[in-house]
Amino acid sequence: MVPVPEDLPEMEYRYLGRSGLQVSAISLGGWLTYGGHVENENTFACMKAAYDAGINFFDCAEGYAGGESERIMGEAIRKFGWKRNDLIYWGQANGERAQSTTSVSPASVSSKAPTWLSNGSNSTIILLGNLRMDCRRNRLSAHATAQRLNLIAPIMEQPQYNLLARQKVEGEFLPLYNEFGLGLTTFSPLKFGFLTGKYNAGIPSDSRLGTSQDAFATRTKARTGDDSWKEDIAAVEKLMPVAEKLGISMANLAMSLGLEE
């Protein structure tokens, strides 16, 4: 197993919106990685290292690697015997993005609960999400409906947030934080690896994009050389002197945005 560095700072924990639930400031997600791209033993090692570093928030979905990501991450939970109060599991009922779910109706979401439980998350607090609700209008509608029916309104959102994608978190959703106490569990702080600089000269053959057969990776590779790709790379190249001046890696610079309070 991968040991946690002795000089690693203590993990910070933050409240998830107004829910009263405390989660680690950094989470570990299984998209594009576990259940396919990374071998099982390496998945176990990554999850154990994350847990030992204080991470208690794990993100997965039934659509990741056709369900294999959930299965192998659940197997890690069982393997290490982590307890109910140790973890928060973020599972997504994300409709058309999933391999096996064609609806995000209450009946459909309820039918997936046994699957999440059987994948090992019965030892965790489970948060369910719906990635279709990804705009401010949908959020306002959901809160209004919950208030009218005396239900619990959504407590969190999971938008992409990084140095190359800031508009939704810092603009569109801004009024929702104070009005509804919306919590954030953002994803892709490294912009799928772009912000490390490793794709500046193209896609390395041994990189995740270079080896993954995932549909998203395939679509991303198809962007190589187009205008949006060039814009991302140009922005990364402008940021590299900033990281160098600060004496930190590009990955550290990118991660610092999401860790700001």
Active site residue 177: no
Strands 22-24 and 13-15, sheet pairing:
antiparallel
Query: Concatenated DSSP letters for 71-132?
Result: HHHHHHHHHHT--GGG-EEEEE--GGGSSS----SHHHHHHHHHHHHHTTGGGSEEEEE-TT
Residue 54 CB: number of other CB atoms within 10 A?
A: 16
Cα separation, 112 vs 235, whole angstroms: 41
The contacts found for 5-14 with CB under 8 angstroms, 24 or more apart, are: 8/53, 10/54, 11/53, 11/54, 11/55, 12/259, 13/54, 13/56, 14/261
Cα separation, 195 vs 104, whole angstroms: 33
Tell me the two tokens of residue 108. Answer: 């459909």
Cα separation, 121 vs 18, whole angstroms: 23
Query: What's the one-letter identity of residue 247?
Result: G
Residue from 64, 89, 161, 199 carrying the catalytic annotation: 64
Query: Could you give the residue numbers annotated as active site?
Result: 64
